[in-house]
Amino acid sequence: MAKEKRTAIEPTREQDYPEWYQQVIKAADLAENSPVRGCMVIKPWGYSLWENMQAGLDKMFKDTGHTNAYFPLFIPVSYLEKEAEHVEGFAKECAVVTHSRLELGSDGRLVPASPLEEPLIVRPTSETIIGEMYSRWVQSYRDLPVLINQWANVVRWEMRTRLFLRTAEFLWQEGHTAHATKGEAEEETLKMLRVYETFAQDFMAMPVVCGRKTEGEKFPGAVDTYCIEAMMQDRKALQAGTSHFLGQNFSKASNIKYLSEAGTQEYAWTTSWGVSTRLIGGMVMTHSDDDGLVLPPRLAPLHVVVLPVIHKDCERSNVLEYCAKLKSKIESASYCGVPVRVSVDSRDLRGGEKVWSWIKKGVPLRVEVGPRDIASGSLFVARRDTGEKKSMPCAEFIENIGALLQSIQENLFLRAKKYRDENTVEMRSKEDFYAYFTPKNAKKPEIHGGFAVANYDGSAEVEDALRADLRVTVRCIPLDGGEPDGNCIFTGRPAKYRAIFAKSY
Amino acid sequence: MAKEKRTAIEPTREQDYPEWYQQVIKAADLAENSPVRGCMVIKPWGYSLWENMQAGLDKMFKDTGHTNAYFPLFIPVSYLEKEAEHVEGFAKECAVVTHSRLELGSDGRLVPASPLEEPLIVRPTSETIIGEMYSRWVQSYRDLPVLINQWANVVRWEMRTRLFLRTAEFLWQEGHTAHATKGEAEEETLKMLRVYETFAQDFMAMPVVCGRKTEGEKFPGAVDTYCIEAMMQDRKALQAGTSHFLGQNFSKASNIKYLSEAGTQEYAWTTSWGVSTRLIGGMVMTHSDDDGLVLPPRLAPLHVVVLPVIHKDCERSNVLEYCAKLKSKIESASYCGVPVRVSVDSRDLRGGEKVWSWIKKGVPLRVEVGPRDIASGSLFVARRDTGEKKSMPCAEFIENIGALLQSIQENLFLRAKKYRDENTVEMRSKEDFYAYFTPKNAKKPEIHGGFAVANYDGSAEVEDALRADLRVTVRCIPLDGGEPDGNCIFTGRPAKYRAIFAKSY
């Protein structure tokens, strides 16, 4: 029998990418489905990632002048009705609260009672309720800009859900700003897009394309929607964050008016921007491998796990004591301005099982220490990203730990960027384009295509055809993508854009 | 005309305490009512307080071995039904989700559509849904303890709401733990109660009594409810946090079973504990005065505000430049392990208006700097807590800023403790007790009573009578309150407890 390469995750990415994704999450204990339809439970390891994301983003929001606030979970249905496109976008899938009490029914079961005068929906996004508050707060140009962010849960009643990527309830942040001029609001929209880009690249080690959405793909009620798009390892695109220039649509719907310096009444210009727990799904799919989760050090709940190697009972106390001291040395080192996060795993488990549990959890560095290492003053160090393992002097490890973590962070980014760039192809004809997105191997219908860059006339008819024929959409018109250099490859008409097309989550 | 003392807040505490409370919140811009019934908007200054509370509590939870996770917002009605007392407590006031879509009705308005098979309620607390998850996660004694906390929003459909103190939606944390033994769960319950006590006293400068609730006042479904109770300036009690020993009630309802070391199947023992944005209301009512909010430095969004004093335009750039440098010096100082939080208010406002705006916001230290101060190297420093103002050398201020803040923190605590102790009275007869809680001045029905300590037989009949006659309840049986030293003052029967009685929020 030929020796097979064994992997901790089954199936592998190659065998069944969607199932691999679920198994990576399960093996890392990040999250699981709850008995409540479409709602997930984010488990401690997954929630820690979110806390680290929140900390990074929150600091960037505050550094750009924003403060946090909190607005109601519920939105009266009449508010949703104020903006026509907005209703269209959100009324189809929302949780509707109709009663304020339960009482015992005739069959002894609880039934809804005390109907509300006006039904409420659980916020799918908060433009309308926040707009209402801003209309009360903003009177004069002196009250502008309003620069507020909210960390919150939101609900969209999705029919097909997938952990992190698409769930009925998810956690997110939504920035909502109001400005005196169109120019300022546009500047804000792009500034926050670039904040997301920086966060994705520097913290998540996830390369992204910054771009603008087409009419068909923009946020319901927005004038312009900008996005960051990332490529997953099945070469599909993931929209990882959006920033909307709302023009005066919502300020007119909510009556956000101000007295200008010139003494005239003007409508404010507003923006909104958000990222969600979806980012965790993106991070999983960008870096993980067939052995499980791979975490970028800047977001890893633990940077280092120390694994005591104990063969005989008499060694135990010595090794554990040494590991405890090692832990304090490690946490006195720092990485990116925070103390290195380290834990000693002294559980009574078989060595192999213990090592694999941390591999599957994606901890960037594993350190094994046994009596012989203690005697020689060395450590056995393993990198999660490359799998590289080597023995090194303890002092050298402590001294280089920040550099080592940074090298992992950079390697992950470069590896993902290389993968994306290799799978981004310039398309010169409709035929090539269709061939690119058509599976060559019926057994692996998921793995094909990538990002296709093409000259495009901007028409909705092309978008509709691509969606119907190939399930491909325009992901964005890249901000740094240059001008079209030929006619539209689909229609032959003059091209308006050089756009990126892909299948997507 | 006699010179009247002017205050920034009208009415004063003496004149109308409940209205004073609303006005303090308004003047400090902490929060306001939203158009959604019973739901408040927490504005940036109020939300900053909550963020500082969260940071302090979160660290204490993690230091005691807990991790955060996130569970669904929605709870199926059938889950609520699992624990009889729990249903009783929460079914009467909850938001019920019955539909998953809105569609256009015949009158052109949106109406609920797609009814759910089983209605969901928006969580009023999460014992049942978290219990369901724990029943899946816990198989063996090795899986215990489970020590998890959740930061979340919850909804209880209160009819009469008051900002922070009682709102339909509020923010909180809820710890939920499961243990192998009764003893461990009881220890956890009391450990977290003491964490709350420490937080209230050290961060909020709010003295609290730790105690146990009577049968009639405990959490629906708990075996024992412990609480921290604080005294507000109208001498009413505020329940500021609770920690519940749930016994095996919820583990039986949710089937949280484990295989013990001895090989038997056992039900786990669980606890839950929580504090909420109500704490902000408690902090407002503990420290604020007739000039507005007074903040304990450990939670203040800003420790210091620098107010440039500019009389002539030609002074402006010099003074502002000096203030910017002063700001960096101040923020290089630290208080309780964090850099001092400071801002320069260079708004173009009248001096008096500007000073008062920061008084009303409760910032612990105000520093005024004008050309003469710059020339003499001094600053004009005002303390919010005592109103004390004095000129001091700039270098001396910078050097002592941490000590100054700590002295404010301690002064607030001691002042509040003195007030509470002065208004805590030992009662030896039912007559004295009734007199104590009966208003002497019909014009100020709110201001009377306080904490009454009395020997009590523990009977429900006494509780019912006191609630009906005086609107007084047993706040708690203090943990450190000693044993009864006589018979029950209400019934003459042997006393079981020395309890604290009060009117309450």
CATH number, position A443: 3.30.110.30
Position B293 in a domain: no
Strand partners, B474: B501
C-alpha span between A119 and A98 (Å, rounded): 5
- Residues B258, B261, B266, CA angle at the centre, nearest 5°? 30
Q: Take residue A354 and report the two structure tokens written for it.
A: 């213990």
With contact defined as beta carbons under 8 Å apart, do B138 and B251 qualify? Answer: no
* pLDDT for residue A182 is more than 50: yes
Residue B161 lies in a domain: yes
Q: Is the pLDDT reported for residue A97 higher than 90?
A: yes
CB atoms within 10 A of CB A387: 10
The H-or-E segment that residue B357 falls in is helix B351-361
* Pair (A222, A350) in one structural domain: no
Backbone φ and ψ of A343, nearest 5°: -140, 150
Residue given tokens 């009605």 in the structure block: B77
pLDDT of residue A40: 97
The neighbouring-strand residues paired with A478 are A211
Hey, what amino acid is at A426? E
Asked if A103 reaches chain B (Cβ–Cβ under 8 Å), the answer is: yes
> Sign of torsion, CA A495 A500 A502 A505?
negative
B70 beta partners: A42
Q: Are residues B27 and B119 in the same domain?
A: yes
Are residues A172 and A253 both part of a single domain?
A: yes
Q: Which residues of chain A lie closer than 8 angstroms to B101, CB-CB?
A: 91-94, 96, 157
Residue of chain A nearest B44, judged by CA positions: A69
The answer to whether B337 faces chain A, any CB pair under 8 Å, is: no
> How far, in whole angstroms, is CA A353 from its chain's centroid?
30
Please report the pLDDT score of residue A447 as a whole number: 58
Min Cα–Cα distance to chain A from B458, Å: 32
Best CA proximity match to A253, nearest among A94, A75, A27: A75
Residue type, B272: S
CATH number at residue A248: 3.30.930.10
Mark whether B230 and B146 lie in a shared domain: yes
Beta strands (DSSP E) in B213-347 are 224-231, 237-247, 257-259, 265-267, 269-276, 304-308, 334-335, 338-339, 342-344
Kindly give the pairing relationship between strand A237-247 and strand A342-344.
unpaired
Query: What pLDDT does residue B445 have?
Result: 58
Measure A81 CA to nearest chain B CA, in Å: 8
- The verdict on residue B72 lying in a domain is yes
Question: CA A85 to CA A81: how far, in whole Å?
Answer: 9
For testing contact with chain A, the best of B100, B109, B117, B170 (most A CBs within 10 A) = B100
Q: What are phi and psi of B160, to 5 degrees?
A: -105, 115
How far apart, in Å, are the Cα atoms of A410 and each of A201, A242, A359, A424, B267? Answer: 10, 25, 19, 21, 48
Same domain, A233 and A209: yes
Taking the CA atoms of A471, A477, A482 and A487 in sequence, report the sign of the dihedral they define.
positive
A87 & A204 share domain: yes
Separation between Cα atoms, residue B179 and residue B185, nearest integer Å: 6
Instruction: Please give the distance of CA A57 from its chain centroid, rounded to a whole number.
Output: 12
DSSP 3-state assignment of B365?
A: strand
Q: What is the pLDDT of residue B318?
A: 95
Query: What pLDDT does residue A330 have?
Result: 98
Please check whether residue B251 lies inside any domain of the structure. yes
- A287-310 tens-digit pLDDT: 999 999 999 999 999 999 999 999
More confident residue, B77 or A446: B77
Coil, helix or strand at residue A32: strand
Contact residues on chain B for A102, CB-CB shorter than 8 A:
77, 80, 91-92, 94, 96, 119, 121
Beta strands in A180-303 (DSSP E): 209-212, 224-231, 237-247, 257-259, 265-267, 269-276
Which residue in B230, B225, B213, B224 sits closest to B473, CA to CA? B213
CA nearest to A284, candidates A48, A20, A3, A14: A20
Distance separating alpha carbons of residues A74 and B137, to the nearest angstrom: 32
Amino acid at A304: V
In a domain, A348, yes or no: yes
Is B376 a domain residue?
yes
In the three-class reduction of DSSP (H, G, I as helix; E, B as strand; rest coil), residue B45 is classed as helix
Is the CB of residue B318 less than 8 Å away from at least one CB of chain A? Answer: no
Most distant CA atoms of chain A, gap in Å: 86
What share of chain A has pLDDT > 90, as a percent?
90
Alpha-carbon span B461 to B492, nearest angstrom: 13
CA distance B99 to A237: 32
- B252 three-state secondary structure: helix
Establish if B298 belongs to a structural domain.
no
For helices B278-287 and B17-28, what crossing angle results, to 10°? 110
Q: What is the pLDDT of residue A131?
A: 97
Contact between chains at B110 and A81 (C-beta distance less than 8 A)? yes
- Smallest Cβ–Cβ distance between B47 and the set A69, A98, A133 belongs to A69
Say yes or no: B392 and B450 in one domain.
no
pLDDT at A1: 40
Q: What contacts A48, CB < 8 A, 6 or more positions away?
A: A301, B67, B68
Same domain, B357 and B451: no
Question: Considering B259, B287, B315, which residue would you say is the last residue of a domain?
Answer: B287
Domain boundary among A237, A255, A287: A287
Q: How far apart are CA A300 and CA A53, in angstroms?
A: 10
Domain count within chain A? 3
Distance CA A173, CA A186 (A): 20
Task: Give the closest of B70, B97, B101 to A42, CB-based.
Answer: B70
Hey, is the C-beta of A77 within 8 angstroms of any chain B C-beta?
A: yes
Instruction: For residues B282 and B189, state if they share a domain.
Output: yes
Six token digits for residue A236: 């599909």
Do A341 and A262 fall within a single domain?
Answer: no
SS3 B23: helix
- Mean per-residue pLDDT over chain A, rounded: 95
| Cα–Cα distance, B47 to B119 (Å, whole number) | 32
Are residue B275 and residue B339 in the same domain, yes or no? no
Q: Label the pairing between strands B110-122 and A424-426.
A: unpaired
- Over range A364-385, report the average pLDDT: 96
Residue for token digits 């539909």? Answer: B99
User: How far, in Å, CA of B229 to CA of A411, rounded?
Assistant: 54
A75 touches chain B (CB under 8 A): yes
Residues A401, A332: Cα–Cα separation, whole Å: 11
- Using DSSP's 3-state secondary structure scheme, residue B103 falls into strand
Instruction: Tell me what pLDDT residue A364 has.
Output: 98
CB A489 within 8 A of CB A458: no
Answer whether A41 sits within 8 Å of B72, measured CB to CB: yes
Tell me whether residues A98 and B103 touch, CB distance under 8 A.
no
Q: Would residue A278 count as lying in a domain?
A: yes
Q: What is the pLDDT of residue A84?
A: 79
The predicted pLDDT at position B3 comes to 45
Amino acid at site A434: Y
Token output for A93: 């899938």
Nearest CA to B298 out of B331, B240, B351, B337 is that of B337
Query: What is the crossing angle of helices B394-422 and B278-287, to 10°?
Result: 100
Q: What is the pLDDT along chain B (505 residues), one digit of tens a residue?
A: 344 557 999 999 999 999 999 999 999 999 999 999 899 999 999 999 999 999 999 999 999 999 999 999 999 999 988 887 888 889 999 999 999 999 999 888 899 999 999 999 999 999 999 999 999 999 999 999 999 999 999 999 988 899 999 999 999 999 999 999 999 999 999 999 999 999 999 999 999 999 999 998 999 999 999 999 999 999 999 999 999 999 999 999 999 999 999 999 999 999 999 999 999 999 999 999 999 999 999 999 999 999 999 999 999 999 999 999 999 999 999 999 999 999 999 998 887 899 999 999 999 999 999 999 999 999 999 999 999 999 999 999 999 999 999 999 999 999 999 999 999 999 999 999 999 999 876 666 555 799 999 999 999 999 999 999 999 999 999 999 899 999 999 999 999 999 999 999 9
Residue A83's pLDDT is 80
CB of A163 less than 8 A from some CB of B? no
Tell me, yes or no, whether A404 and A433 share the same domain.
no
Q: How many residues comprise chain A?
A: 505
Q: What pLDDT is attached to residue A324?
A: 97
The partner residue sitting opposite B157, judged by closest CB among A40, A43, A101, is A101
* Cis peptide upstream of residue A11 (ω within 30 degrees of 0): yes
Q: What is the CA radius of gyration of chain B?
A: 26
Cα-based distances in Å from A223 to A249, A265, B431: 8, 22, 72
Neighboring chain A residues of B84 at a CB cutoff of 8 Å:
none
Contact residues, chain B, for A87 at CB < 8 Å: 102, 110
Tokens of A476: 């964005």
Domain boundary among B221, B253, B287: B287
CB-based contacts of B314-318 (< 8 A; 24+ apart in sequence):
B315/B370, B315/B371, B318/B371, B318/B374
Residue the block writes with tokens 């295509």: A449
| Burial category of B194 from C-beta neighbours within 10 Å (exposed 0-12, middle 13-18, buried 19 and up) | middle
Task: Return the CATH number at B332.
Answer: 3.40.50.800
Tens of pLDDT, residues A341-374: 999 999 988 878 999 999 999 999 999 999 999 9
Residue-number span of the structural domain to which B462 is assigned: 424-502
Residue B289 to residues B11, B46, B201, B285, B362: CA-CA distances in angstroms?
11, 17, 19, 9, 10
- The answer to whether the CB of A234 falls within 8 A of the CB of A223 is no
Give the model's confidence band at A87: pLDDT under 50 very low, under 70 low, under 90 confident, else very high: confident
Task: Give the position of tokens 């005086």.
Answer: B470
Q: Is the peptide bond before B478 cis (omega within 30 degrees of 0)?
A: no
| Token code pair at residue A317 | 């106390």
B125 CB-near residues (< 8 Å, 6+ apart): B90, B154, B174, B272, B274
The one-letter amino acid at A454 = A
d(CA B393, CA B328): 17
Average pLDDT over residues A270-286: 98
